[in-house]
C-alpha cells in the first residue's frame, strides 16, 4: 500500500517514523506529481495557515481535493483543520469534510495535555479495547458535524475530537506522538478498503 505524508510543514517526520514501524515506506508529498498512485495521504499537525498557504503555492489544493473524492486522507490537528469545510476564519482549506472546527479551542492553561480516550472504532484493528493516549497541542475542536460524519471520539465533556466521513479521517490530537500505533493502523485499513 502506498501512503503519502504531506511534508510542507509540521510534524511529518513523526508520522513517517510510525508508518515505517508498521511496515509502510511512505512517500513524501510536496508537489502534485507525488500524489499519483497513492492509496492514502496524511496531513500532519503544525500550523494550518502555513500548511494551507504552502499547499496553495505548490499547487496542491486542487489535486488533494480531487484525491480526497476517492482516496483516504487523514488530518491530525492542523491537518484536521485543513480537511474541514469551515474554520470560522479566512484561511485556505481543503473543505473536504462536512465538519466545522474551532482553532486553538483550549485556553492557555490546558493548551497542551494528554488524556486517555475511549475510541471503540479502534477495535477494528485490535480487538482489545483499551484507552487510547491522546495528546493535544494547541488543538482544535470539531464543533459540528453533518449527518454523514461518524463521530469516533469525544472528550469527557462531550466535545468531538475525532471523526470519519467515508475514507476521510480527522483527529484533533496527535497519534504520531505516542507509541500506540492503533490509529495509524486504522487509517491503513481505511485506505485499503473498497470504495463505498
Q: Which residues bind ligand GLN (CB under 6 A)?
A: 45-48, 77-78, 81, 103-104, 137-138, 140
To ligand GLN, the closest distance from the beta carbon of 139 in angstroms equals 6
Neighbours of 117 (CB within 10 A): 17
CA distance 72 to 170: 11
To ligand GLN, the closest distance from the beta carbon of 4 in angstroms equals 18
Respond yes or no: is residue 47 known to be catalytic. no
Of 143 and 189, CB closest to ligand GLN: 143
To ligand GLN, the closest distance from the beta carbon of 123 in angstroms equals 27
CA distance 93 to 84: 7
Respond yes or no: is residue 146 known to be catalytic. no
Helix, strand, coil percent content, the chain, rounded in steps of 5:
30, 30, 40
Give 161's strand partners: none
Of 48 and 178, CB closest to ligand GLN: 48
Of 85 and 189, CB closest to ligand GLN: 85
Respond yes or no: is residue 176 known to be catalytic. yes
Neighbours of 173 (CB within 10 A): 27
Per the residue annotation, which of 15, 34, 102, 176 is the catalytic one?
176
Per the residue annotation, which of 77, 146, 150, 196 is the catalytic one?
77
Cβ neighbours of residue 137 under 8 Å, at least 6 residues apart? 45, 77, 111, 112, 174
Active site residues: 77, 174, 176
Amino acid at each position: 500500500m502506498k501512503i503519502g505524508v504531506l511534508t510542507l510543514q509540521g510534524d511529518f517526520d513523526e508520522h513517517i517514523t510510525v508508518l515505517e514501524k508498521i511496515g509502510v515506506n511512505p512517500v513524501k508529498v510536496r508537489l502534485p506529481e507525488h500524489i499519483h498512485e497513492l492509496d492514502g495521504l496524511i496531513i500532519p499537525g503544525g500550523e494550518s495557515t502555513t500548511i494551507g498557504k504552502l499547499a496553495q503555492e505548490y499547487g496542491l489544493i486542487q489535486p488533494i481535493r480531487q484525491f480526497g473524492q476517492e482516496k483516504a486522507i487523514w488530518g491530525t490537528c492542523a491537518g484536521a483543520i485543513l480537511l474541514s469545510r469551515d474554520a470560522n476564519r479566512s484561511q485556505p482549506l481543503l473543505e473536504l469534510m462536512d465538519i466545522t472546527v474551532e482553532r486553538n479551542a483550549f485556553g492557555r492553561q490546558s493548551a497542551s495535555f494528554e488524556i486517555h480516550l475511549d475510541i471503540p472504532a479502534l477495535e477494528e484493528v485490535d480487538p482489545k479495547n483499551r484507552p487510547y493516549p491522546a495528546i493535544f497541542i494547541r488543538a482544535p475542536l470539531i464543533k459540528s458535524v453533518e449527518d454523514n460524519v461518524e463521530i469516533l471520539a469525544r472528550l469527557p465533556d462531550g466535545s468531538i475530537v475525532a471523526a470519519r466521513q467515508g475514507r476521510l479521517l480527522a483527529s484533533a490530537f496527535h497519534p504520531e506522538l505516542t507509541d500506540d500505533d492503533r490509529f495509524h493502523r486504522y487509517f491503513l485499513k481505511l485506505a485499503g478498503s473498497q470504495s463505498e
